Amino acid sequence: MIRSLVFCLFLMVISAASFAQTAFHKNKVIAHRGAWKAQGLPQNSIASLREAIRLGCEGSEFDVWMTADEVLVVNHDGDFEGMEIEESTYAQLLTKKLPNGEKIPTLKEYLAEGMKQTGTKLILEFKPSAISKERSERVGELSVKTVKEMKAEKWVDYITFSYEGGKKAIATDPTANVAYLTGDKSPSQLKEDGFFGIDYNIRVLKLKSDWIKEAQDLGLTVNAWTVNNPEDMEWLLDQKADFITTDEPELLFELMKKK
């Protein structure tokens, strides 16, 4: 009897230790386009992802577009160094570099970098297409398929301004965590359509602060963008938001230490 109790205890210790090794940080801090500002790094670069990881952020956000030849690449704007991403091939984008000398990262390269660690989650924003609704859906679908192919599901949560793209991503993988960014849907509508959370502009949440509790009561997460001043950070912490997306992760960490 005692021997089996000791054995059970041993198993519990072992599983707790392995869990600790794979647990993602739980500190609400989401670095917006990576942690770039304080170090002067290019937004959405591999270097900015590494810096968010180094800081210990819970998540590092980045933006995904699809080239004319259907390669998913990571960049904030629809154009990369003067080239429209949706109208350029991947080979054409490779002719230009980011200011730090990196080439434009592909989604696969970005995921591979993030999967070298298990502290910081990867918050994948797939961008709506300026060309067509079909392409918006395709970006959502291909993003989810790429994450599955890379076996990166554990690392990735999704966000999007495209309601169609979001629904397509959820249909492609019903276990995908997809939060919606535009701010025009109620928590109950999002819940009904299988979304994971609301991720709304701080101004929207201040106007509709009842949506915070409403969303959490429905089991949705609450995130806000892009929160760069201390007053807004304090307010969201007091409201018990699940995540805070910021260009100033260092500032948010400092502020949370004082709380």
Please tell me whether residue 62 adopts helix, strand or coil conformation: strand
Interface with Mg ion by CB under 5 A: which range of 11-19, 81-89, 117-125, 198-206?
117-125
Does position 248 interact with Mg ion (CB under 5 A)? The reply is no
**Minimal distance in Å, beta carbon 222 to Mg ion?**
17
Which of 58, 63, 157, 199 contacts Mg ion by CB under 5 A?
Answer: 63
Three-class SS of residue 4? helix
**CA torsion sign, 151 to 154 to 158 to 163?**
positive
Member of 86, 125, 137, 247 binding Mg ion (CB under 5 A): 125
Nearest to 156 by CA among 179, 124, 129: 124
* C-alpha R_g of the chain: 19
- Pick between residue 80 and residue 191 the one whose CB is nearest to Mg ion: 80
- What does 109-162 look like in DSSP terms, one character per residue? HHHHHHTT-SSSEEEEEEPPPSS-HHHHHHHHHHHHHHHHHTT-TTTEEEEES-
In the complex, minimum distance from the CB of residue 63 to Mg ion, in angstroms, rounded to a whole number: 4
Is position 137 an interface residue for Mg ion (rule: CB under 5 A)?
no
Lay out the site mask for Mg ion across 191-210 (x = CB under 5 A, - = otherwise): --------------------
Q: Does 247 participate in binding Mg ion (rule CB under 5 A)?
A: no
Size of the residue set binding Mg ion (CB under 5 A) = 2
Shortest distance (Å) from residue 125 CB to Mg ion: 4
Indicate whether 157 belongs to the interface with Mg ion (CB under 5 A).
no
Query: CB under 8 Å to 87, separation ≥6 — which residues?
Result: 68
- For residues 51 and 40, give the distance between their C-alpha atoms in angstroms, rounded to a whole number: 11
In this chain, which residue has its C-beta nearest to Mg ion? 125
Question: Residue numbers of the site for Mg ion (CB under 5 A)?
Answer: 63, 125
